[in-house]
Amino acid sequence: MTLQVCVVGGGPAGMMLGFLLARSGINVRVLEKHSDFFRDFRGDTIHPSTLEILDELGILDDFLKLPHQEVRQLTGQIGDTTLTLADFTHLPVRSKFLAFMPQWDFLDFLAGKARVYPTFKLEMESEATGLRFDGDRVTGVRVKTASGEAEVLDQLVVGADGRRSIIRDAAGLQPEDFGAPMDVLWMRISRQPTDPGQVLGRVDYGKIFVMLDRGDYWQCGLVVPKDALEEIKQRGLPALRADIRRIAPFLGDRVDEIKSWDDIKLLTVQVDRLRKWYRKGLLCIGDAAHAMSPVGGVGINLAIQDAVAAANILVPALRETGTASEAVLEKIQKRRELPTRVIQDGQIAIQNNIIRRVLASEGRMSPPLLIRILGAVPLFRRIPARLVGLGFRREHVTVGR
């Protein structure tokens, strides 16, 4: 069956775009290579800008019924000093907080809302392996499923298949790689009711340790220098456990829950951006167009903003002509490139000027002057809250049912 749009990848970008297109009466299929959304950590933060979009779509109240945590102020600990670094309570939106929710719950929720529309098809365990061309125009996707290989032919292919996008490779779209000085080791440690409240990041002894409260366990991320895993393995697990206990002493013997290297997942950090996000018959959005650093935890939200901008521009074009011209696709890149560039530039500056230095240092740390001022003056905390919570050039849903 030829549909109007084939979205490759059921992450935040792909699921939101699928939902928005289906809601506007556009026939869309979303191909997702996994059998469910339940897998490794992929970011848990739903920012006020995304909550506002859910509100515009009339699904915020249902979303907030799902188990989640609402964080109104972001705190961090540098050495012995705990500081409030961002205060979301003054943002000019309905939801003045970050919602922390496991990403699989968020994606399941979007899938549930999208399935209501007969124009929506979600094809799980369907892995895109390449593109089909007619001359220089992309006309479809080669797909591997449990029952074999097939081709789907659609009017427009959207690559929303994340940072290792095969779609952008197959389309010959070239990313500019900005590099990243770090990777993240991800692990779980049980949580006790007597543990301190959520302090997002602990910075000390040349380490950065992130802890997300997931109810009965902490989802922990240890930021390590890029490609350092082999060296860390050579030092051994006991040394790693000791590092973690030193930076978060309240964990005590619970660090022994990290029993083997299998309990630790390496998340590689990558920051890049396509020079051109489209070609005839194809568009890339989300991490497939611009892989985001975890700095600021904004990637999911940027992916959602891309999806909203793409739907706002695509729906009128698809309704009118049944397809999207290169001029239409170029308009989407133009709309989203500047906010992406601004945020990535900020992430790269933080990576190179702060994270790189922290990881290269040893011994106890104390907050630099700028951070101390930020922590001490409540008014200033609104600035990072605005940048992180709402981003820049915020999108609103302009296409309806």
Q: Residues in the site for ligand FAD, rule: CB under 6 A?
A: 8-14, 31-34, 42-45, 127-128, 160-163, 166, 184, 267, 269, 286-288, 292, 294, 297-301, 303
Phi, psi of 43 (to 5 degrees): 100, 135
Q: Which of 79/387 has CB closer to ligand FAD? A: 387
Determine contact, residues 240/226, Cβ cutoff 8 Å.
no
Q: In what order do the strands lie in the sheet with 73-78?
A: 81-87, 73-78, 201-204, 207-213, 217-225, 182-190, 265-268
Q: Which of 104/373 has CB closer to ligand FAD? A: 104
- Between the two ends of the chain, the Cα-to-Cα distance in Å is 23
Evaluate the CA torsion angle 91, 93, 94, 98 in order and state its sign: negative
For the bound state, the minimum distance from the C-beta of residue 99 to ligand FAD, rounded and expressed in Å, comes to 11
Q: Which of 64/380 has CB closer to ligand FAD? A: 64
For the bound state, the minimum distance from the C-beta of residue 245 to ligand FAD, rounded and expressed in Å, comes to 22
Structure tokens at 35: 């059998």
Q: Which of 36/62 has CB closer to ligand FAD? A: 36
Structure tokens at 344: 């990535």
Q: Which of 256/263 has CB closer to ligand FAD? A: 263
Determine contact, residues 338/386, Cβ cutoff 8 Å.
no
For the bound state, the minimum distance from the C-beta of residue 379 to ligand FAD, rounded and expressed in Å, comes to 26
Q: Which of 34/275 has CB closer to ligand FAD? A: 34
Total residue count of the chain as it appears in this document: 401
Q: How far apart are CA 255 and CA 238, in angstroms?
A: 9
For the bound state, the minimum distance from the C-beta of residue 364 to ligand FAD, rounded and expressed in Å, comes to 26
For the bound state, the minimum distance from the C-beta of residue 292 to ligand FAD, rounded and expressed in Å, comes to 4
For the bound state, the minimum distance from the C-beta of residue 119 to ligand FAD, rounded and expressed in Å, comes to 20
C-alpha 337: how far from its chain's center? 17
